[in-house]
A and B are shown apart, each in its own frame.
Chain A
Amino acid sequence: MKIIMTAALMLFAANVRASGKQLTFALVPKLLDNPVFNYAKLGAEKQAKALGNVRIIWRAPQEADAAKQVEIIEGLIALKVDGIAVSCNEPEALRPAIDRAIKLGIPVITFDSDSPKSKRLTYYGINDVECGRIMGEAVARLTGGKGEIAVLTGMRGAFNLEERMRGVRQAVAKHLGLKIVQTVACDDDIARAVSSIESTTRARPNLAGWAFVGGWPLFAAGALDSVDSKKVRIVSWDALPPEWPYLESGKVSLLLAQRVFHWGSESVKLLTAAAGGRKLPRYSYAGVDLVTPANLAEYKRMWARWEDPGIPFSDDPLLK
């Protein structure tokens, strides 16, 4: 397996067997309108089917709004579901609702985006600061530790993005020749991400590298036409299918792939374990897959297995 894993913590990989009882789990992503979560949904449904006695409720606000998520969780508590997995729009805003569910005996876990101070049982997802550091180190390696770096982020103030940027800054600070000269925020708007890159490329002819702490521009085609890939090294978050051509063309050197399918499948597993009375660790960190032009073919094969409803996750080589 050439794909490098930083932290492969799959605690309940193969040994979760649901009891005969019918279980209903609710998964609450940040919003409906984000393609990333669609893969999590696929993963959750596949896992539920494999377990046999699990039913999935998929609920989310149309837009990334913490208050609406709180409403949804309150509704799920009233429904008396057997477990809730939530990707938090805002860690503190979700905390009272999560704590209330726990108090009423409904297991709650977080995935993708945590609420660390709440009483949630565990968090499944990456360690954002740590992965930000990996990203910063990768930029340093690719640029030879010298030059001007720009960072692209989404919505300023989004907890996980700020954590990733913190990690990037920590790693870059260790290299005296590297300097972050500009941070641009695209407000999660793909079109704005593309035009910000164009503007920054013009204003910064000496730019040596970019760190995208989310994959926004790479969902569009021709987003990096203004960038000279011989001079500028780009590292980006996520490795969803629309981003692959950028690796193939050499415009992007490295993608940090989150386990988007496993947000769903592992959440279902963890909730099943919790419903069966198992104690969960406070953190269940997922690995990050470092996808490069060299191992992209292999990553695509993995992706096809994850996407295939006929191949259960228990046969997944990454999880063994």
Chain B
Amino acid sequence: MRFRESGILLVLAVQVLVLWAVAPRVNGESTFMTSDNLMAVARAFSFIGIAAVGATMVIVSGGIDLSVGSVLGLTDVVTALALAGGHGIAVAVAAGLAAALACGLASGALVAYARLPPFIATLGMLSIARGGSYFLSGGRIVSGFPDGFVGFGQGFLAGAVPYPVVVMLAATAAGAVLMRLTSYGRALIALGGNEEAVKLSGLSVPALKLSVYAIAGGFAGLAGLMYVSRFGYGSSTAGWGYELQVISAVVIGGTSLSGGEGSVLGSVLGAAVMGLLANGLTLMSVPEEYNQFVVGLVIILAVLMDRYRNSGGIRP
């Protein structure tokens, strides 16, 4: 059995060791290697990580979803408006998720039945969902939620692990099981590898496509729920540009943009690489002028390392 996350794990390990060694020390203790810091970092990248679970499935199936950031933002606004309107947490959460699923289903239908290229369908959805959140919020910041709601996003399981991180771990596990242990997951991989073969095997290609975009919408919505619960505000600016961060995480995690192979766990680890990088750059006071430069270098290096590892004959 191949272990395709070994490349990204190696990248992550190198990164952790380097940051541990070079991050400033206060009273002899590393500012990096504390559970407080690591949990804060994990919470910061949890939104990207959760959205990356669904995005991975889409990319593995041979598609792409550019709308995840906008769908996150729409969920943020819809949930916030429902909460501020006094509809209660359950209704607000359901409304937010429903909006996200609707976006995913619409993208999926355009790809599966109208046969639009995924890039175009989800690029359209990127604009539509962003426009929808602007229209619904009227450009205003929506805030003032019940304590129980922000209590979740800002709270900790057993006083140590932030709830958004717990949700990310659960989402990762669910995504990994779906991809590896079910015939549905195998069908997605096959779809990304050879669509004709899937057609000939009697599976419904359109149904597979429709469902995978809906799932991606659902995970983007879940990320949006964590976002609105963590930050306690709804705004049409939420999640702006996150699609590129999500796709970067997926690619760093070893998933091929041409489809047919990839790993949900790898993508979440890819999000971790980017989160640790941002944390490390701030801890070490790297001037902002160099930040983006370093981020770009690390993305390229991480993917190169992963390629190198995976070309070393560990492929089945």
Which A positions have Cβ atoms within 8 angstroms of B? Answer: 32-35, 37-38, 41, 62-63, 153, 156, 181-185, 188-192, 194-196, 198-200, 202-203, 205, 219-223, 225-226, 240-242
Contact = CB atoms under 8 A, between A and B. Distances in A.
A203 B231 contact: no
B291 A185 contact: yes
B24 A203 contact: yes
Interface in B46-99: 47
B287 A195 contact: no
Given A33-B134, A38-B139, A203 B238 contact: no
Contacts of A32: 134, 139, 236
Contact of A220 (B41, B138, B231, B236): B231
B204 interface: no
B23 interface: yes
A198 B23 contact: no
A180 to B, nearest CB: 11
Q: Looking at chain B, what size class is its interface with the partner chain?
A: 35 or more
Nearest to A29: B139
B310 interface: no
A37 B154 contact: no
Interface in B7-48: 23-24, 26, 31, 34, 36-37, 40-41, 43-44, 47
A196 B141 contact: no
Given A191-B44, A199-B37, A33 B154 contact: no
Interface string B145-163: 1000010001000000000
B256 interface: no
Interface in B254-305: 278-279, 282-285, 287-289, 291
Given A62-B130, A191-B227, A203-B31, A37 B26 contact: no
Given A41-B139, A203-B24, A222 B150 contact: yes
A222 B237 CA distance: 18
A202 B41 contact: no
A242 B278 contact: no
Given A203-B23, A225-B154, A242-B141, A195 B278 contact: yes
A35 B233 CA distance: 12
- The 4 A-B pairs with the shortest beta carbon distances in the complex, nearest first, are A221-B232, A220-B231, A38-B139, A195-B44
B40 to A, nearest CB: 5
A34 B137 CA distance: 11
B285 A181 contact: yes
B192 to A, nearest CB: 31
A38 B140 contact: yes
Contact of B150 (A200, A203, A221): A221
Contact of A156 (B31, B140, B284, B289): B289
Contacts of A62: 127, 130-131, 134
B235 A219 contact: yes
B311 to A, nearest CB: 34
B284 to A, nearest CB: 8
Contacts of B241: 189
